[in-house]
Homo-oligomer: A and B are copies of this chain.
Amino acid sequence: MSNFEVLNKTGTARQALLSTPSGAVKTPVFMPIATVGSVKTLLAEEVKSIGAQIILSNTYHLLLRPGPELLRQVGGIKRLMNWQGPMLTDSGGYQVFSLARLNKIEEQGVTFNSHIDGRSLQITPEISMDVQAAIGADIMMQFDDVAAGVSTRERYEEAMLRSLRWAERSKAAQRDKNAQSSIFGIIQGGTHEDLRDRSLEGLVNIGFDGYAIGGLSVGESRADTFRIAKHVASLMPADKPRYFMGGGMPEEIVYYVSVGIDMFDCVLPTRNARHGQLFVWAGEPAICVKEAFSRAQEGAADFRIAEALYTKIQITNEEFTSDLGVIDAHNDVVSSQTYTRAYLRHLFKAGEILGLRLATLQNLRFYMRMMEELRKLIVDS
């Protein structure tokens, strides 16, 4: 069971301490994603050294490879990857609905074909909890029914109601499998406030260790995302962690923090890095984040928050060919202050793996530093 203590507040934003069986986490926090047993290109000690407090592992991916039997045998993915801190696992729901070839959704669970070898598998709330326990999660997520990108109100409602029933089964199974871990419920309901309200109410009635906003950042407009996030955050229990799943761009995270959300995860920093897209500080990080946060509090448009934070550069562009400036003078990860843009561009153009590492370190440290500055802002305000 996790313990959650709000230590500081400014407006609706809060800074808290989340305790888990594997250590405490200062929120607001961003969780790097260790999809299949590594934060891509990085060693666990590097992930820790750039400021990560907690990582996220993907149940769907680890169910396929290396599979729960091996994970049980070796004592979980954390032991395998040498990550000693806290870990959250998703439920597999999102990937089943987005990556796999879905066969059918039934009340019992979901049947699908692996995107790797096509073999048929089933995930039910009970199986998801079992696999999450085998992975070795400190925080588990309920198994949920995820409506596709933009769906009809009927589909959102159906998915939300089924998710509520699966929430109850998830909680029961989690208590069975690993009562020391905690479990979060997932609020569904698309872009409809009333569906979101019913979802939250149902989850609170069951009672979870934390609550997550699911089914956003899946294709709806940014204005819709912000509206629903703010609305739902304002109603979520104040004494439990609030987690926005799968979001997002730096400016989004600053906004979500301003409305009182505590936890985040996203593939953006690592995936964009591998495509040569870098988040480069617009200036001194403390000043950038302060300005961005103040714009977020005033309800500024996302691009206005973004421009205070960073410049997005495509390192493969011609303009960086002979740029002997360092990757980012304001990013305190050593490699970004050591290596030049000309070198990083060359590595990408030549297809050298080292380029992916340098870009990943840059982006992930950008996110980590942003969270550090956000926490300081809330503490100092």
Contacts and interface: CB of A to CB of B under 8 A. Distances in A.
A195 interface: no
Interface in A337-381: 338-340, 342-343, 346-347, 349-350, 352-354, 356-357
Contacts of A349: 65-66
B335 A36 contact: no
Contacts of A338: 82
A172 interface: no
Contact of A37 (B74, B321, B352): B352
A210 to B, nearest CB: 29
Contacts of A36: 346, 350, 352
A38 interface: yes
Interface string A141-178: 00000000000000000000000000000000000000
Count this chain's copies in the assembly.
2
B40 A342 contact: no
Nearest to A355: B38
Given A82-B338, A338-B82, A356-B353, A37 B343 contact: yes
A313 interface: no
B70 A354 contact: no
A38 B37 CA distance: 26
Most chain B C-beta atoms within 10 Å of own C-beta, residue among A38, A61, A322, A347: A38
B340 A80 contact: yes
A28 B172 CA distance: 65
Contact of A342 (B41, B80, B353): B80
Contact of A43 (B66, B335, B340): B335
A339 B74 CA distance: 12
14 contacts: A37-B350, A38-B352, A38-B354, A40-B354, A41-B353, A41-B354, A41-B357, A42-B354, A43-B335, A65-B349, A66-B321, A82-B339, A353-B353, A353-B357
A73 interface: yes
A301 interface: no
Nearest to A335: B43
B353 A322 contact: no
Contacts of A121: none
Nearest to A342: B74
A134 to B, nearest CB: 13
A206 interface: no
Interface string A13-49: 0000000000000000000000011101111000000
Contact of A322 (B61, B73, B346, B357): B73
A211 B115 CA distance: 55
